[in-house]
Structure 1
């Protein structure tokens, strides 16, 4: 049986190591990863520090990092998934909305997660069945029951090949939300979106994509805090989902209706 309490402690220790690198390492060279996407030397330093630590203490668990891919023993059922700096564009521009996101996945679902916001002094964590916490205090998702009272975050617009076509639904949704909700926000970090749905700062977060390093930790934290976490088609969210919607349960159905309208 997987000892989630032990593994969550290990995840916290690993993120502590990554956090130190994030706040002390010089920005250094910023490397292009394609159209308007980038990685800094800090991204690589944080990933290498966490990857090395986890390889030492959990050699039986494979590792997937955003910057350098997979490593370790792939014969088991478990996988660490890391975004070393979620919100690199924010980080490069000195915007403190940045997160280190480390999830533990089995198959297509998350078992544990840690999200650290090194420049805001917040640490979110959860393991399956044990609730969600911020700086050691239990958190609960919003109970917002009217869309017009909701603050809703949306993911970044698409860049790269096919971006104009992929942005049609995103821009349509932005317009639909602007006419319905209290405010629309784009924070530039998926992990922060999901953590803030978990603690009730946001009433919903919508992303038309699902990169596992962005979402594996936050999906579990939001779920443990009582939020609905779904694919954009309304099915339960998994590691292989197309998109990611985290929402206060009372407004979930109405929000999904707007998403479906945008996609049409």
Structure 2
């Protein structure tokens, strides 16, 4: 029997603890990265092992504490669906390339979906122990600190995050056009390498915006970050300013004073490219 009395706050508490458990596993493996024998088989083998161990521990904890809620894991796929339509989407290691290269910027990310809607999210940095979380209608938090996004008023003072396409994944030409369009408008662009954390940084106000459309992201990369940002008062859409970013085609997330400005920049860049292509025909 499914326990329909399980409150959202209880689910979020269980998600936080699951993220800590998975994160502790990642931190342990990260600390002995160079000494692990499996590295001799190739870096992709080790990274897969780290992903799988983290996800296994997360799913085990959720199974013990929330047995009636389905899960969708990046590595293990979907469990049997819950009758009430709830599931937890799991990214056991966001920032795999960073992890592999010893760069201390990666995270664990979990999102609660009720039907097609994300209603809670958790993003955890295992090395700093930063726990970002949000629940629908309840706000976004870093630990116990409420998040409200950046209060900067000048785009010229903004620092913006992004994900770059790499190794054949994504549209490098499109990403380069977007980069060229936004670079003269802001004070800095960063790509730390964990999209889940970077979106949370927008909620915190550490970043003044985040976008991606050239790089390919999946539901587990975006779901937690999007609700954390929205509950902090930020706007998250596709790059056209209208679509749902959880369709995983593109994302622009920013505080209200900047979101429409970013959309205009990217729209102008897209129109200019289309005009150039038309002239070249």
Q: How far is the alpha carbon of 1:239 from its aligned partner?
A: 2.8
SS of residue in 1 equivalent to 2:51? helix
Structure whose residues are more often helix by fraction: 2
Query: How far apart are the structure 2 equivalents of 1:171 and 1:82?
Result: 30
Q: 1:19 aligns with which of 23, 32, 36?
A: 23
Query: How far apart are the structure 1 equivalents of 2:97 and 2:220?
Result: 16
Query: How far apart are the structure 2 equivalents of 1:207 and 1:155?
Result: 6
Alignment partner, residue 14 of structure 2:
10
Q: TM-score, normalised by structure 2?
A: 0.85
Alignment partner, residue 126 of structure 1:
134
Query: How far apart are the structure 2 equivalents of 1:126 and 1:235?
Result: 23
Asked whether the equivalents of residues 63 and 70 of structure 1 are also in contact (C-alpha less than 8 Å), the reply is yes
Query: How far apart are the structure 1 equivalents of 2:208 and 2:172?
Result: 23
Alignment partner, residue 178 of structure 1:
183
Alignment partner, residue 215 of structure 1:
222
Query: How far apart are the structure 2 equivalents of 1:138 and 1:181?
Result: 26
Of the two, which has the highest radius of gyration?
A: 2
Number of residue-to-residue matches in the alignment: 257
CA distance 1:203–1:141, shift in 2 (3 Å): same
Residue pairs, 1:69-218, within 5 angstroms: 69-160=77-168, 163=170, 166-208=171-213, 209-218=216-225
Extract unaligned runs of 5+ from structure 1.
none
Alignment partner, residue 260 of structure 1:
267
Q: Deviations over 1:206-254 (max 9, x none)?
A: 0214411111111111111111111111115353242121101111111
Q: How far is the alpha carbon of 1:49 from its aligned partner?
A: 0.6
Which stretch of the first structure deviates more once superposed, 60-69 or 189-198? 60-69
Asked whether the equivalents of residues 219 and 248 of structure 2 are also in contact (C-alpha less than 8 Å), the reply is no
SS of residue in 2 equivalent to 1:39? helix
CA distance 1:159–1:262, shift in 2 (3 Å): farther
Alignment partner, residue 39 of structure 1:
47
Q: How far is the alpha carbon of 1:23 from its aligned partner?
A: 1.7
CA RMSD of aligned residues (A): 2.1
Q: How far is the alpha carbon of 1:94 from its aligned partner?
A: 1.2
SS of residue in 1 equivalent to 2:71? strand
Q: TM-score, normalised by structure 1?
A: 0.90
